[in-house]
Structure 1
Amino acid sequence: MRCGIPGSICHVINPRNREKSGSTPPTAKTNSAMNCTRDVISDRPLLMLPWLAHGHLSPFLELGKRLSRRGFRVHLCSTPANLSSVKLDNCGGVELVELHLPDLPKLPLHLHTTRNLPPYLMSDLKAAFDLAQSSFCQLLDSLRPSLIVYDFLQPWAATAAASRQIIAVLFLPIGAAAYSFLSHIAVKPTEQFPFPSIRFDDDEEVTRLHRLTAASSDSPSDGARVIQCIELSSRFVLIKTSRGIEEKYLDYASLLRKKELIPTGILVRKPHYHLNDELSEFFMSKQEMAEIARGLELSEVCFMWVVRFPKGEEVPLEDALPKGFLEKTLGRGMVKEEWAPQEGILGHASVGAFVTHCGWGSITEALGSGVPMVAIPQHLDQPLNAKLVTELGVGKEVIRSVDSSLERSYRGEELARVLREVMVGGESEEMRRRSKEMAEVLRGEGEAEEDMVATRLARLLNDGDAVEQRPWSRNWAGDEGRRRRKEEDKVHEKAMNTQLQDHACLGCNNFCMDRHYESGSGS
């Protein structure tokens, strides 16, 4: 049996019942920016194509809604199974378009999404998505979009667009710290990453990442797909973050990949829940769940814990949790199955901390709400995101222990210790202050960053630049291609180095220049 915990593993209630921070409305959009954007937007629609996961669908939809408010006509394309989680009456001007995957024996229609997808079928879902190229091309021909915004696993979408003289821009719904770190180890594998606070703690995490993203017998690796997607993106790449938290990582990754990263803002939606089910697709084992329960019990803090199970493996809570846990925590703890309104809970004045596996969507929601975090990352980019949480001074990471079988796992005692440090420890007030300050900065910058995205996309449309103007880049072997590319790279690197000089030497962002934590200590 497997048990599950969503992206919001639990919300811990602050015993001090802190007051709501004064939330100021976002900066109003300037009329000049709006008019400038609308003047050059084509009458033809913008088409968005996210990967088939809720953690990708949601930021694409949020970006689409913001572009729609700025005059773009937006269509969001995905499978019926993936779109079923979107409430049709709250799409903010975004029109939903169905993309049908080919029929495969192992993949019934309800599994044309990563939700409830068994891990062993992930390669089949990727293969089926690749086979949907012809269906996507039919959509391009019928909708005739002026621009597509695509995700990191489908370079074929950009290729299909280019063949029709349609502009294609990559949108990465991940953090810039993780993206720049992973780009560094791909481009400069023998050199140390210049920002040592962002790292994997051990080789096991690297091995796990390679295993999850490896190539199959008939499909390229995720890493190869990402590289292709970056190269095919017109002029720049969009990324779900803000300069207020990841400026140096944005600039460094732009330098490494030789393509400008443009932040979209964190795209946190208002808590009216246009998604029916915004949950993690990662499930903990029963033993891992027992350690979480032990940590909550030992911490003696009040909590809400949201628990879910893989489809078809649901069990009563009394059987899933350690014996006596519900009785021992009665009166200070609430365990809820399947779903809870995460944004609404995070925005409540009584929530003093957020225990999270550090998916980027959950981190940005906590940042936008000004809630400190307790990080218990699992895989992929989550360990890197957890390091960013610590670097920013808005939370602490629970460090895994090594047991007798040399397996690394979380221990309830360590979770309880970190929980109490974040809630009532000596640095808890400072973490709350930093979290509130961060939320204010992100609110202030969000509108401006969204305006900039709209302006840059409109500029692409105005220029009629369907593909990046590097005709020689398709002939890497040619002497002229190598010479021209080398000259251009020198100019780009010089410009980016100038931007990096002001902050590449810092150990952390501007919010935590005076605050570093020792690794491996749980601090």
Structure 2
Amino acid sequence: MTMNRYERKQTVLMFPWLGHGHISPFLELAKKLSNTNLFNIHLCSTPANLKSIKTSPAAIQFIELNLPSLPELPPDLHTTNGLPSHLMPLLKKAFDVATDEFSGILKTLKPDLLIYDIIQPWAPVAASALSIPSVVFITTSVAATMVHFHLSNHPGIALPFSNIYYRSYEYGKVVKGLEDMRKDEDFVMECVNRSSDMVLVKSFKEIEGKYSDYLSVLTDKRIVPVGPLVAEPVEEEEDEKQNSVMQWLETKAAGSTVFVSFGSEYFLSDDDLEEIAYGLEISDVNFIWVLRFPKVERKLSLSEALPLGFLERVKDKSLVIEGWAPQGKILGHKNIGGFVSHCGWSSAIEAMKFGVPVIAMPMHLDQPINARLVEEVGIGMEVVRDENGRLSREKMAAVVRNVVVSKLGEVVREKAKQMSSVLSMKGEEEIESAAMELLQLCSRGGGGGAGPSETNEAIEIGEV
């Protein structure tokens, strides 16, 4: 892209929620927009989050947001990564209390545009007070957002896409933290309503085009996809843990191994952990399992947390890791044949990029809808819980074997490869279009919360 009307780059402040699953796509979007050479990008988060970013491009400036330090919530816990679930309401409260500090950042930086997340409706209000335009960036699936808006706007009316949604998962016994989820949905809707005439989404038309169209009708805003935004795996020669994982994986046959991970913000219940462990054992496939425990709670050793004798019984076909593993590098390896995932949206998209079929095991929030979407596009199968929300080791083992080794899974495995090819061919298609949209928004100015644009007046912004 080249500029011809703009005499300077536009300054953009990006402001994600404090979860890794939000910061990662915001950072990838920052990189993509910076690479267009049209924007100066600043990303704002807490020191606890910023220090965890492994790669920090020189073109992206980081701005620290300091939350109040509370007795139960010291600065190193100002992140959702590893945060015990009972402290999440406190973190959200501390985040909301930082409104004045964030307003100060806006006054000092004077950005041309704010790109904000779905948990902080006060951010676009602060921007509007300074006549700074703002746009929301939704890092969850379009389908999940669409469901939330439909249920709020049309209660009692059947969703047009019933295949993507089923009430037993969304409001039944499976979902954890129901009240917090409903509060979050209110925040999502307010944040979207306060956005400019557009909404940015981490998606692409090939998988969510029809849902984007319906969400546009529900919100009266244009839905602008920015693509999958999957970080490229980083080579870290001196990372002993990464090297040992990849060396172990090299000893397995092509497509023979599943990667098991449930994200950085969810901790398995004792019942789920036990069923998953036995399910993996019964499946008789090789696996790499990443287990995480809350940071501040007393944690058991791996051998104590897992069923008695499990590690010894599966030692020849398993690698059980605590804390962190190089997910991108693992999923991109030829010997990985499946991804046992909670279906957080970033993980689902990452599986699509690397062509790895998904064994979907959603836990809460938007994950059940994402799991349905994974099945709908044909790249995975779900391990369905019973009516009481319980997992079954036998069901899990059967789905793992179906996806990874049986003839039944050939269609899923082939579809996953095709999806990877689609993403590879798309290149920067969505980013280039989104960048033009954002430049037009910068040129209009006037603060967030504007209604849909009534004109499509052309602006000289250069060539793509």
Interval of TM-score (by shorter of Structure 1 and Structure 2): 0.7 to 0.9
1:97 is paired with a residue whose SS is strand
Query: Equivalent residue for 1:86?
Result: 53
Q: Spell out, residue by residue over 1:70-97, the C-alpha distance to the aligned partner (whole angstroms, 9 max, x if none).
A: 121000001111212113x533621111
Gaps of 5+ in 1: 1-33, 215-220, 474-484, 492-523
- Cα displacement (A) at 1:198: 0.7
- Cα displacement (A) at 1:201: 5.2
> Aligned equivalents of 1:78 and 1:273: distance in 2?
25
Deviates more, 1:101-110 or 1:203-212: 203-212
The one-letter code sitting in structure 1 at the alignment partner of 2:375 is: T
Structure 1 pair 103/309, CA: closer, same or farther in 2 (3 Å)?
closer
Deviates more, 1:409-418 or 1:125-134: 125-134
Work out whether residues 205 and 379 of structure 1, in 8 Å CA contact, stay in contact via their aligned partners in 2.
no
The one-letter code sitting in structure 2 at the alignment partner of 1:81 is: A
Q: Does 1:283 align with 2:267?
A: yes
Q: Does 1:449 align with 2:411?
A: no
The one-letter code sitting in structure 1 at the alignment partner of 2:233 is: P
The one-letter code sitting in structure 2 at the alignment partner of 1:355 is: V
Q: Does 1:310 align with 2:268?
A: no
- Cα displacement (A) at 1:133: 1.2
Q: Does 1:434 align with 2:418?
A: no
> Aligned equivalents of 1:164 and 1:74: distance in 2?
19
User: 1:117-516 maps to which residues of 2 (within 5 A)?
Assistant: 117-200=83-166, 202=168, 203-204=171-172, 208=176, 210-214=178-182, 221-272=183-234, 279-311=263-295, 312-402=297-387, 407-467=388-448, 469-470=450-451
> Aligned equivalents of 2:35 and 2:5: distance in 1?
14
- Cα displacement (A) at 1:207: 6.6
- Cα displacement (A) at 1:43: 3.8
Q: Spell out, residue by residue over 1:112-159, the C-alpha distance to the aligned partner (whole angstroms, 9 max, x if none).
A: 111232222222211211111111111111111110100011111111
> Aligned equivalents of 1:396 and 1:363: distance in 2?
12
Question: Out of 75, 79, 95, which is 1:109 matched to?
Answer: 75
Gaps of 5+ in 2: 243-260, 456-464
Structure 1 pair 235/350, CA: closer, same or farther in 2 (3 Å)?
same
Structure 1 pair 323/246, CA: closer, same or farther in 2 (3 Å)?
same
Work out whether residues 244 and 442 of structure 1, in 8 Å CA contact, stay in contact via their aligned partners in 2.
no
- Cα displacement (A) at 1:414: 0.6
TM-score (norm 1): 0.78
- Cα displacement (A) at 1:431: 1.1
Structure 1 pair 288/435, CA: closer, same or farther in 2 (3 Å)?
same
Work out whether residues 49 and 76 of structure 1, in 8 Å CA contact, stay in contact via their aligned partners in 2.
yes
Work out whether residues 288 and 410 of structure 1, in 8 Å CA contact, stay in contact via their aligned partners in 2.
yes
2:164 is paired with a residue whose SS is coil
- Cα displacement (A) at 1:468: 5.5
> Aligned equivalents of 1:205 and 1:91: distance in 2?
43
TM-score (norm 2): 0.87
Work out whether residues 194 and 450 of structure 2, in 8 Å CA contact, stay in contact via their aligned partners in 1.
no
> Aligned equivalents of 2:72 and 2:287: distance in 1?
40
> Aligned equivalents of 2:7 and 2:184: distance in 1?
33
Structure 1 pair 42/226, CA: closer, same or farther in 2 (3 Å)?
farther
> Which has the higher relative contact order, 1 or 2, with Cα contacts under 8 A spaced 6 or more apart?
1
Across the two proteins, how many residue pairs are aligned to each other?
428
Work out whether residues 44 and 144 of structure 1, in 8 Å CA contact, stay in contact via their aligned partners in 2.
no
- Cα displacement (A) at 1:282: 0.5
Structure 1 pair 181/41, CA: closer, same or farther in 2 (3 Å)?
farther
> Aligned equivalents of 1:284 and 1:265: distance in 2?
30
> Aligned equivalents of 1:372 and 1:273: distance in 2?
24
The one-letter code sitting in structure 2 at the alignment partner of 1:212 is: D
Query: Equivalent residue for 1:47?
Result: 13
> Aligned equivalents of 2:7 and 2:64: distance in 1?
24
2:203 is paired with a residue whose SS is coil
- Cα displacement (A) at 1:223: 2.6
Query: Equivalent residue for 1:218?
Result: none
> Aligned equivalents of 2:101 and 2:6: distance in 1?
29
Structure 1 pair 437/77, CA: closer, same or farther in 2 (3 Å)?
same
The one-letter code sitting in structure 1 at the alignment partner of 2:394 is: E
Work out whether residues 128 and 449 of structure 2, in 8 Å CA contact, stay in contact via their aligned partners in 1.
no
Structure 1 pair 468/315, CA: closer, same or farther in 2 (3 Å)?
closer
> Aligned equivalents of 1:465 and 1:40: distance in 2?
18
> Aligned equivalents of 1:41 and 1:117: distance in 2?
45
- Cα displacement (A) at 1:163: 1.0
The one-letter code sitting in structure 2 at the alignment partner of 1:432 is: R
- Cα displacement (A) at 1:273: 7.3
Structure 1 pair 267/51, CA: closer, same or farther in 2 (3 Å)?
same
